Amino acid sequence: MPEIIDLDKIAAARRETKGELPIVKFGGEDFTLPPEMPFAVIEAVGKIRADENGEVDNSVVAESMGDIARALFGKKYRRFLDLGPSAEDISALLQNLPPLYGMNLEEEAAEEPTLPR
């Protein structure tokens, strides 16, 4: 029988130690976020890069912001969007998101990149 890496079991054990789920309050409604930072968020943020002139492609930023919101809000994405968040609202969400997931971007940026164990 082949060796099986049971990510479901591993994730369930990790999530048991997390406690309460992060919540975003917007438009008078509470939106419960996933228990762990979705990889799609990391992937979308990674697509936003400045060119050699320090310019960022606004269409890439817009697409990435949409990908991030879809990953975070899941089935409630459309409801969140119907409440009319601005680009500044999404920017504020992104700035406040890392601490919700126990991440410190300043410390992590100073460290050498490594794969998680």
The domains of the chain are located at 20-102
One-letter amino acid for residue 57 of the chain: D
pLDDT of residue 111: 52
Report the percent of the chain where pLDDT is more than 90: 41
* Helix or strand run (H / E) with residue 31: strand 29-32
pTM of the model: 0.74
The answer to whether the beta carbons of residues 77 and 34 sit under 8 Å apart is no
CA distance linking residue 60 with residue 10, whole number of Å: 34
Bridging pattern class, strands 23-26 and 29-32 = antiparallel
Q: What are phi and psi of 56, to 5 degrees?
A: -115, 135
CA distance linking residue 66 with residue 6, whole number of Å: 30
pLDDT in tens, 15-64: 877 778 889 999 999 999 998 999 999 899 888 888 888 888 888 888 99
48, HSE (Cβ side, Cα atoms, 13 Å) = 15
Helix (DSSP H) and strand (DSSP E) numbers for the chain:
6, 2
pLDDT of residue 105: 58
One-letter amino acid for residue 84 of the chain: G
The answer to whether the beta carbons of residues 101 and 22 sit under 8 Å apart is yes
